[in-house]
Amino acid sequence: MSEMRYIPNKMKGKTPYDPISGSYSIRLDANESPYPIPAELLDRFCEALKEESLNRYPDPTCASVRNAFSSYYRVDPANVVVGNGSDELINLILNCFFDKGDKVGIATPEFSMYRFYAELAEDAVVFTEKDSTFSLDRFSAFAKENGCRAVIFSNPCNPTGAGFDKEEVLRFIRQTSCLCIIDEAYMDFWDQSILTLAPEFENVIVLRTLSKAFGAAGARIGFAVANPLLIRNLNVARSPYNVNSLSQRLATLLLENGDLCNHGKELGQRAKELQSRLTELFPDARVFPTCANFVFMETPNASELFRYLADCGIAVRLFGNSHLRICAGTEKEMDRLYETLTRFGTEDPS
């Protein structure tokens, strides 16, 4: 088509993100919290909306959100930037902190959007594999050998659920000269965060979100924590009114009531129970240990099992033809999942 001349090369071959669509009675595919925001907090949120002047732009500094985040996670609000989901912040960092052709290191498997945003920014992405010998020490050597300006990784990892403990990550940062972008989206389910230490380093940005343990995926609230110089430049790069007033109100309320809203500990434990049950139910599969709210498994029956669960009204995530990722749900949802899995291969779901 002649219209293709208006599409730059960096966009050619790219496809839109394609989440699972359709109606399912149980959603265990997107790593969301299965728990809605408590009714009492929703009532308070609705009351607070009466005070909002929606004809005015939202607070460009997200001061109330940063203050609430700082109180809950024990970091200085001056070292925090709020984004329209952590995706916005990842996109901004990979677009604005590097020049065209600068190398960004990624160890696969990893969250697919890191590569997408980096390539869209015309960064040169270099890859290494998370095989059985992979370690952060090896990743550091890889970054040095390849002249990386930055590395980006999730801890715990999406999609595998594996985690590097705090001391491993700190050693990696100290021996790595490039910018370390560490996505702790799933750290509420574990206890090895370096969040409070991030501002002490010149080469670290830590990302967090309210989409997982806090159950606010629909509000799109993410955070970056770093030293003042990195924070200042991130504020230069972001849009001046990037987080809407309603999301700011809700995020502040959730963080101020974190003990009521954060289901990280419960869901993290439930994911470990899921890991154990999958190991029992599928002894020939490789079930990955998890530090997150989901379990990753490798099995030649992945595609068949994915379709079977979908036909039974349960959505999980399929990777290629041999891997599944299943998120922890409520107790009732997990009981239904286990019942369904025990019938796999013995009956027609219809």
Q: Are residues 90 and 209 in the same domain?
A: yes
Q: What is the DSSP string of 124-146?
A: EEEEEE--TT--HHHHHHHHHHT
The last residue of one of the domains, among 204, 234, 260, is 260
User: Which pTM was predicted?
Assistant: 0.94
Q: Report yes or no on 36 lying in a domain.
A: no
What is the CATH number for 338? 3.90.1150.10
What is the CATH number for 163? 3.40.640.10
Instruction: Give the model confidence (pLDDT) of 284-313 as tens digits.
Output: 999 999 999 999 999 999 999 999 999 999
Instruction: Give the model confidence (pLDDT) of 131-171 as tens digits.
Output: 989 999 999 999 999 999 999 999 999 999 999 999 999 99
Count the Cβ atoms, other than its own, within 10 Å of residue 15: 6
Grouping H, G, I as helix, E, B as strand and the rest as coil, residue 8 is: coil
| pLDDT beyond 70 at 1 | no
Q: Are residues 325 and 251 in the same domain?
A: no
**Range 56-74 average pLDDT:** 98
Asked whether 223 and 208 are in contact (CB, 8 A), the reply is yes
Instruction: Give the model confidence (pLDDT) of 16-60 as tens digits.
Output: 877 777 789 999 999 999 999 999 999 999 999 999 999 999 999
Q: How confident is the model at residue 347 (pLDDT cuts 50, 70, 90)?
A: low
